Structures are given as C-alpha cells and as structure tokens.
Amino acid sequence: MYNNSISIWAEKLRKREVSSAELTQFFLKRIEKLDPQYNSFITTCNEQALAQANAADALLAKGDAPALCGIPIAHKDIFCTRGVLTTCGSKMLANFVPPYNATSVENFARAGTVTLGKTNMDEFAMGSSNETSFFGPVKNPWDKECVAGGSSGGSAAAVAACLTPGATATDTGGSIRQPASLCGITGIKPTYGRVSRWGMIAFASSLDQGGVMARNAQDAALLLSTMASFDAKDSTSIERPVEDYSHTLNTSLEGLTIGVPDEYFGEGLNPETATTVQAAIAEIEKLGAKTKAIQLPHTKLAVPAYYVIAPAECSANLSRFDGVRYGYRAELKEGEGVEALYVRSRSEAFGDEVKRRIMVGAYALSAGYYDAYYAQAQKARRLIQQDFVEAFKEVDLIMGPTAPNPAFKIGAKGNDPVAMYLEDIFTIATNLAGLPGMSIPCGFVDNKPCGLQIIGNYFAEGRMLNAAHQFQCATDFHSFEPADIA
C-alpha cells in the first residue's frame, strides 16, 4: 500500500476506495515513524494537511475534481509556502514564515493536492550531498551511512523511502537529477522558464529551475503537468501552453535517435556506472530507438564556467539577507552600529559553503576581474549551448550517466569542495544551456542505485518522459525499494 504510484492513488481516490484524509494520515504517520532515520523533512504540516485533505474529499465527492485532487505531496523547503516555515536549509531563514505561496505551490494547491511538509536541502541549494543543511545531512534510504545527493536530497530520500508519493524540487546544476540517481527514483528538470521561479528562493537566477520527483515517469508526468505554467510575475517565464505530458507516454520509440556523447564516458566515470548506463541504452535500442555517437566538445568547460556564474549570481541574490529586513539578526554589543549588524548576522547565519560561494562570486564580479572570469565564463556558456544546438540537429534525445559514482559516505568529500563539485559533471551543462533533463533508475552499482540521464531539446519534456516511461515498462529498476521501509 505504501508504495502505490500517484496514478493508482488517484484512481482509488476517484473511486472512493480511500479518502484523502485517510491517505494523508497514513503518510503523516509514516513520516513520524520513519523519517528520524533519514532526516528528509524539516517541517511537517499535520493540521494544514488534514484541512486540505478534507477540502479535497469534498471536491472528490462532487465527481469533477482535478486529476491530482487529494494526493499528498511534499515541497522542497525553497518554495515559499503560506503560513509554513520556509528555511532554505539555513539558519538565516530558520524563523521565516512567508505570507504567500510560490506560484508552484499555488498551482498544486489549486489542483487540490495536500502538502505533507517541507523537505530538507543543502543550504540555499548550494551542495551536491545535502550535507550543508543547517538542519543536518539527509541520509540515503538505500544506505544510511551515505549521502542522498543534493541539493534536493530531502525530496529524493522522502520519495525513495515512500514517505510521500511525490515531491517538488529545484535544479541549478543537477540538484534534481543527481539525488534522483543516488536514491533510485525519477526526477525531471524542465526547460528553463517552463516552471515559474516566483516564490522560489533564488540561488542563481539564470540557472535555477523547479521540477518534480516521483517513483516513475508516469507520476512525474502528472506532477509536471500541474506544476508548469506561464507566470506574469516571473520575467523569465515562457508564455507557452503547457502540455498534458501523460498523453504521449505510450508512443512507440521506433525511429527515435538517441545521441550518446563520447565526453560522458571518459575520465572520471566509475567503470561499473558506465557499464550499467550502456546496458540501459542498449535496452532502449531494443524498444526501437537507434543510437548515434555525438560530440559535445565544450563539456570540459561546464564545471569551471558554472562555478564562476553560479557564485556570481548567488553573491547578488543573497545580499538581501542582511539582518535588517527579515531572517536571522545577530545580537549587537553596546556601541556597535549597522555595519557590525550586517557582518555578524551574515557571518553567524550562513554556513561555510554559502560563504565560500559568496566570496568567489563577489571576487569574479569585482572591477579588476570581471572580464577575466565572469565574461569568459559566459562565453564558455554560449559554446556549451551551441554544442547542444548542433547535436539536436542530428538526434532526438541525448543519454548518458547522471552521476559519475553511486552514493558516497557522509563526510567523505566534505573537506574537498572540488571533488564535491565534480559530482555534477554530467548535469551542469544542461542548466547552462537551459535544456530539460531527467534521471531514471537503470540499475545498481555497489548495491546502490544508478541513474540514466535523458536530455531533451527545448520543451521536449514530453518526448523525454515518453522514453523514460517506455524504458520503465520494459524494466523494473524503478520498482525496487530500500530495505526496512515497509
């Protein structure tokens, strides 16, 4: 029962075989019982969730409720949620309760979903392991000594442990796909601008994109169809009709051309991960697709370009957290002025990784170094984007590994930021180009999940989900679950 898909739960709700109130109580009890060992939630919304569930039951009784009405989900703690603590995994916002909903949260609320709570995350979405959270690291349900990935590790672990049927997440350089890979679930980051960023606390504005996590592609399609929308409040939102991504899930893969980049199977990739991903691509060939070797020659520039651009944007976005308007405020000593308030509030409330990126970003944007670093990184970004433009003239989708390695031990890379940054080596380029990408389970390495990454052309989310769904109809990797979660 606990591992039913969203589509199954939706059918049971429509047939009145279970009420939303019963379903919500069931998952709240699972969170209370099991989550202390994973630390995937920062906040649970018991009273609000039951009120939403009762309202959903009233709509369902009328017989014309939206498809996801009554379905419990969780939101990454980066989405502002009216009346609910929204911390961004930081001491800086440990007391922040927004008076409004992010557009994504509002879209789900209008669809009648129930908010179980807010999931743990790397502080301000800066991290690849969910170890930088002020509220402690998230533990991987497959091996509680290992990381869940980041920055959306809380959402990934909660879905993997069946504490929620689905969850929202965000992806700035792989923060949906990498934890989805490490936790053995399905996660999708849509095209930049497809999901509104309004009310989503900003890290790097030209890279951040909201998306969803679920156990399979069919559920991800249902969630993304609800989350995606045009939003006049977000200047980067694309005014384009939203597809019903469920409609094309069963399309045949006959004639589909899959690009396999040479650069994704070279140095730095775990050999067992390479073998597992290649076997998954071979399985997709059996379903009628054909493969073609392609080159993305500027892939090697992705990590250095990202770690100039993202810190530069974060240094600007996080300047608002100054101890004056909202958030954490340091206690001042007698005689200290406003400058001391700024310095001590930010020093005490931000963690080491956030401070590191703010300093790198401020340096890269400074007058003497802007042209040498930031301007060069933006030129590299354009070259990376052009690689994909050329590739998609020949192929329909691109496939390769999501992460170079399976989940690693908590603390193993905490003293080596560069090693941590390289965990996103295969995911960063899609954010720099603004392309959609997703990860689906495709096997196991060292008894831990391994993800297949699928990259599409702009607004090709439907095609990506179709390929993922067809693969999942032919395999059962997505149905495997960690031990001790029943």
Return the active site residues.
76, 151, 175
CA distance 62 to 60: 5
Helix (H) or strand (E) holding 438: strand 437-445
8 A C-beta contact, residue 308 and residue 374: yes
Helix (H) or strand (E) holding 261: strand 257-261
Alpha helices in 206-270 (DSSP H): 217-227
Residue type, 247: H
Using only C-alpha atoms, the chain has a radius of gyration, in whole angstroms, of 21
Nearest alpha carbon to residue 385 among 429, 436, 438? 429
8 A C-beta contact, residue 218 and residue 249: yes
Helix axis angle, 217-227 relative to 461-474, nearest 10°?
160
Helix (H) or strand (E) holding 159: helix 153-160
CA distance 403 to 237: 28
CA distance 379 to 383: 7
Residue 227 tokens, joined: 């989350």
Query: Could you check whether the bond before residue 151 is cis, i.e. omega within 30 degrees of 0?
Result: yes
CA distance 310 to 124: 12
Backbone conformation region of residue 335, classed left if phi is above 0, alpha if psi is from -120 to 50, else beta: left
CA distance 266 to 430: 18
CA distance 286 to 268: 28
Pairing of strands 257-261, 290-294: parallel
Pairing of strands 209-214, 448-456: unpaired
8 A C-beta contact, residue 243 and residue 232: no
Pairing of strands 72-76, 114-119: parallel
Nearest alpha carbon to residue 442 among 129, 216, 221, 290? 216
Dihedral of alpha carbons 225, 229, 234, 239, sign: positive
